[in-house]
Structure 1
Amino acid sequence: MRLFAAIAVFLVPLLLVPTTSEAHGPTRQKVTLTTSVPAAPADVWAVIGNFQDMSWHPAVFSSTGEGGNAIDATRVLTLGEASGPTISEVLYKFSDEKMSYSYRITDVKVEVLPVTNYSSHLTVKPGKDGGSLIEWRGAFYRGYPNNDPPENLNDEAAIAAVSGVYKAGLDALNERFSGN
Structure 2
Amino acid sequence: MALAHGPTRQKVTVTREVAADPATVWAAIGDFQDMTWHPAIAATTGEGGNAIDATRVLHLGSSDGPTIDEVLYKYDAGKMTYSYRITDVKVEVLPVTNYSSHLTVKPRDGGGSIVEWRGAFYRGYPNNDPPAELNDEAAIKAVTGVYEAGLDALVARFGAP
User: Structure 1 residue 129: deviation in Å?
Assistant: 2.1
Residues 57-104 of structure 1: CA deviation (Å, up to 9, x unaligned): 000000000000000000000000122000000000000100000000
Q: Counting strand residues as a fraction of each chain, which structure ranks higher?
A: 2
The normalised TM-score by structure 1 is: 0.87
- Larger radius of gyration, structure 1 or 2? 1
Pairing partner for 2:39 from 58, 74, 93: 58
Give 1:124's aligned amino acid: V
The normalised TM-score by structure 2 is: 0.98
- Alignment RMSD: 0.9
1:149 aligns with 2:130: yes
Q: Count how many residue pairs are aligned between Structure 1 and Structure 2.
A: 160
Which residues of structure 2 form unaligned runs of 5+? none
User: Structure 1 residue 24: deviation in Å?
Assistant: 2.3
Determine what percentage of the aligned residue pairs are the same residue: 75
Partners of 1:101 and 1:24 in 2: CA distance: 32
1:34 corresponding residue in structure 2: 15
Partners of 1:62 and 1:170 in 2: CA distance: 18
2:24 corresponding residue in structure 1: 43
1:5 corresponding residue in structure 2: none
SS at match of 1:128: coil
1:106 corresponding residue in structure 2: 87
Q: Counting helix residues as a fraction of each chain, which structure ranks higher?
A: 1
SS at match of 2:91: coil
2:57 corresponding residue in structure 1: 76
SS at match of 1:168: helix
Q: Which runs of 4+ in 1 moved over 4 A?
A: none
SS at match of 1:146: coil
